[in-house]
Each structure stands twice: as structure tokens, then as C-alpha cells.
Amino acid sequence: MTPQEAFVTRLRRHRQRNRISLEELAAETRVKREMFEALEANDISAWPRGLYARAWIRTYACAVGLDPIDTVDEFCRLFPHGDRRGQATMEDIATIVATTGQFRSDFTHLERRKGTTGAPLQPRLASWPSTVVDAARQSAKSAGDFVTDLTRQVKTRVSGVKQTQ
């Protein structure tokens, strides 16, 4: 038995142990019963790739009482449909259409997240345009001036009331 077959068998047995039918599972997860039948037959060729495949496995695991995080991680390790990396998918498509892929990741911070330097990762501070910073400083100064003037007025009124008494 291959690891993929063992994974699918474990899912099916857990569902059957909890006495959940495929119809109930389909109604709860809003995924076609045929898709889950194909999964349990170890045929996910009609399944979508990436995010949707992981979401369907996550909902299946939640519905039958399995840990969704571990189940999705195992699915991603065993099946190419759950691949979290877009580059492999894009390279597969480029191979099919016989062109060289020009893959560009939407996540520009992956190198920083990987920690290739070994140094602890530092969060990047937002770089605000100087006009926004200047406007914020001016507002703070205006608010400070307002509070100072108000305090001065209150003090003079209080001292004026004390002198008349």
C-alpha cells in the first residue's frame, strides 16, 4: 500500500467509524459527493489544485473529527494537488505548453521569512511619505498647543475666582 492509499484509507475509515455518510459530508462541506468518492478511491485527477484542494481536505477533516492542520500537511506532502508552492505548478504548465516559464512569486518576502542569513528576522517598518509624517506632526503640535492654551485659560479663571473670594 502506497502512502497516498494509506492516507485515503485512514480518512475513509475515520469517516465510517464516526458513521458519517458521503451525502452528509457533502451537505456539510458543500463539496460534491462525487469528489469525495474520487478521493476515497485515491483518484483526485478531477480535483482542483492548491488552495481549493487544501480547503476541501481541511473541511473533510473537520467534518469527520480529524485534526485539520495535520491532515492538510500530510495531504500536501503526499499529493501534488496540495502543493503550497506555486512555482512547481507553473513549471508543470510551462512544460506542457513547451515554453520556458517566467514565474514570479507574489511573495517577495520569502527569502526574508526563510531566514537564510541565520539572523533573527526583523519586522520591516512601513515607510510613510514625508507629507503624511509632516501632517501627523503638525496635528500633534496643534493638539499640544490647544491643550496648553486651554490649561492656561482654566488656570487664569481658577485664580480669578480665588481672588474674588
Q: pLDDT by residue (tens digit) across 54-72? A: 888 999 999 999 999 999 8
Statement: the pTM of the whole predicted model exceeds 0.85: no
What 3-state class would DSSP assign to 48? Answer: coil
Report residue 21: phi and psi, to 5°: -80, 160
Could you report the per-residue pLDDT of 104-151, keeping only the tens digit for each? 656 555 555 555 555 554 545 455 556 655 666 677 677 777 777 777
CATH class of 3-96: mainly alpha
Q: How far is Cα 59 from Cα 7, in angstroms, rounded to an integer?
A: 16
